[in-house]
Amino acid sequence: MLEARLAEAAILKRLLDSIKELVTDANFECNEEGINLQAMDNSHVALVSVKLSASGFKKYRCDRPLPLGVNLGSFTKVLKCAKDDDVCIIKAADDADILSLTYEARNSDRIAEYEMKLMDIDADTLNIPDTDYDARVSMPSAEFTRIVRDLSQLGESVRIEVSKEGVRFISDGEAANGNILLRQTDDDAPPEGVTIEMNQHVNLTFSLKYLVNFAKSSTLSNVVQLMLSNDVPLLVSYDFNQGHIRYYLAPKIGDE
């Protein structure tokens, strides 16, 4: 039996908006510690990992590990029926093929109940290896969104380079190119500034289409972290009160 009570439906709505274009169907793995999702995108270039901790819910009960296989498009439609500040209650029986969602309005007696069919999804649990990254960049998520959106107008790829002078985003398009440098913010600047930790110089190229998609998670957190090492996938991480969402993206090699 699963029963999870979220103070605001907005968190789930934003999460689903972030990943619905990357992943079609996925298992939400529920256990006593919380709800997790891990899925590859349809072309197996990117991986998304979501964690919602039990402590982030107003009430949380999960008697035994329970996979909830959902179609994210359908789930998004059901969540659209909730107002952002509705209390959202998720329930499923142990062997159920139905997920029930109840939305309770904050300031009225409105209670809306929805049921969604669950799916059997055979998905391998993906082991994400622990990596000591050569460079870590923390920056305002709105700034990251703007950079990848602007550069995606010019070309399909972005080269991210971390060096002593800062972090540089370079896109070479057929008709135009762009080059944006962010320097480390002064120590007395607000916490949402740019911080860069670098063990060694990193220079990697990624698909902008994916980064634009990842940047939708800026609705969940004001800060984004980029972790880079040469020849390993980029990690783009957003932490929020209930947990985190992390994206892993393989670098482009050569002239792909």
Q: What is the pLDDT of residues 45-54, one digit of tens each?
A: 999 999 999 9
* Residue 256 binned pLDDT confidence (cut-offs 50, 70, 90): very low
Mean pLDDT of 117-134: 83
pLDDT tens digits, 180-197:
999 998 776 666 799 999
Sort residue 231 into left (φ over 0), alpha (ψ -120 to 50) or beta. Answer: left
Mean pLDDT of 147-171: 96
pLDDT for position 131? 86
Mean pLDDT of 45-67: 95
Q: Of 57, 12, 55, 60, which Cα lies nearest the Cα of 37? A: 12
Asked whether the predicted pLDDT for residue 240 surpasses 70, the reply is yes
* DSSP states along 44-106: SSEEEEEEEEGGGSSEEEESS-EEEEEEHHHHHHHHHTS-TTSEEEEEE-TT-SEEEEEEE-S
What are the structural domains, with CATH classification, of the chain? Answer: 2-117 (3.10.150.10), 135-249 (3.70.10.10)
Asked whether the predicted pLDDT for residue 124 surpasses 80, the reply is no
10/187: higher pLDDT: 10
Mean pLDDT of 199-226: 96
Lowest-confidence segment of 60-74, 75-89, 120-134 by average pLDDT: 120-134
Asked whether the predicted pLDDT for residue 168 surpasses 90, the reply is yes
